[in-house]
Structure 1
């Protein structure tokens, strides 16, 4: 604050003693001390209030940032779930009903070349490929395919 040394205080005291006199100087010093105390308390209260307001504003900013990050992550998760839901839905053009599959299967069998593997081995191979992490156990279909 103010850089007041001992000599300045001594000078103010001597001037006050000369102006006010010895009878009124103690009461004036006491009154000045009370006013200075009140001013210091009000200044420190204002500083505390400003500091708390700044901290509250900083917390609000952090809260807004966290909220925006959370909203972004929720939006990305929702888009991911929606894209998975959209890719898992049948489109209608690529799906066939059971009746269509049986009638078109006969037509496909006539037009496709004959494969060298038997139907039992192709079914077991596709089942084996669908479960790559399953333990290697020999099944009756697999044994008949190797014979």
Structure 2
């Protein structure tokens, strides 16, 4: 930028004093100072915007690198899962074709193939075993109630003061 020394600033001030006069010089100096401050703020805002755009570009490059790394890892894991699934399917098909007997035992060892059975839980029985006084204390609703009925139930009374 332009480099002004002390002697040049004194010369500019003396010329301004002669041209503008002592009455208007302070007002002009304030205006020039305000304009210089606005110009400095504008330049700093532009610098900050440029820095932000550079950082954004760097972050986008890093995001692209991470995305490619994630895709590589995902594809390798998927390949490994497919290979393991294929080997499991081939082993299972070999076992089911050759290893099971008509009575459901595997390989003739006498152990039947386990069948999944849902556990027998009766949640209504468990809810019904809770005493009514405990439900009232905990605030558990025992009866279905419409929204309008609930509002009417908890509406404050209209008493005149």
Shared fold (TM-score greater than 0.5)? yes
Alignment partner, residue 59 of structure 1: 59
User: Alignment length, in residue pairs?
Assistant: 99
* Deviation, structure 1 residue 40: 0.7
The residue aligned with 2:111 is none
What corresponds to 1:108 in structure 2?
A: none
Q: Name structure 1 gaps, 5 residues minimum.
A: 100-147
Within 2, Cα distance between the matches of 1:72 and 1:98?
Answer: 39
Partner of 2:7: 7
User: Which residue matches 2:42?
Assistant: 42
In 2, Cα distance between equivalents of 1:63 and 1:85 = 32
CA distance in 2, matches of 1:80, 1:98: 27
Q: Which residue of 1 aligns with 2:106?
A: none
Q: Larger Rg: 1 or 2? A: 1
Q: Which has the higher contact order (CA 8 A, sep 6+)?
A: 1
RMSD: 2.6
CA distance in 1, matches of 2:17, 2:26: 9
In the aligned structure 1, how far is the partner of 2:98 from the partner of 2:10? Answer: 107
Structure number having the greater helix percentage = 1
CA distance in 2 between partners of 1:82 and 1:11 (Å)? 84
Q: 2:30 maps to what in 1?
A: 30
Partner of residue 97, structure 1:
98
Task: Output the TM-score relative to the length of structure 1.
Answer: 0.57
Aligned to 1:18: 18
CA distance in 2: counterparts of 1:90 and 1:30, whole angstroms: 88
1:22-79 CA distance string (max 9 Å, x none):
2211111111001001111111122122222222222222122111101111101111
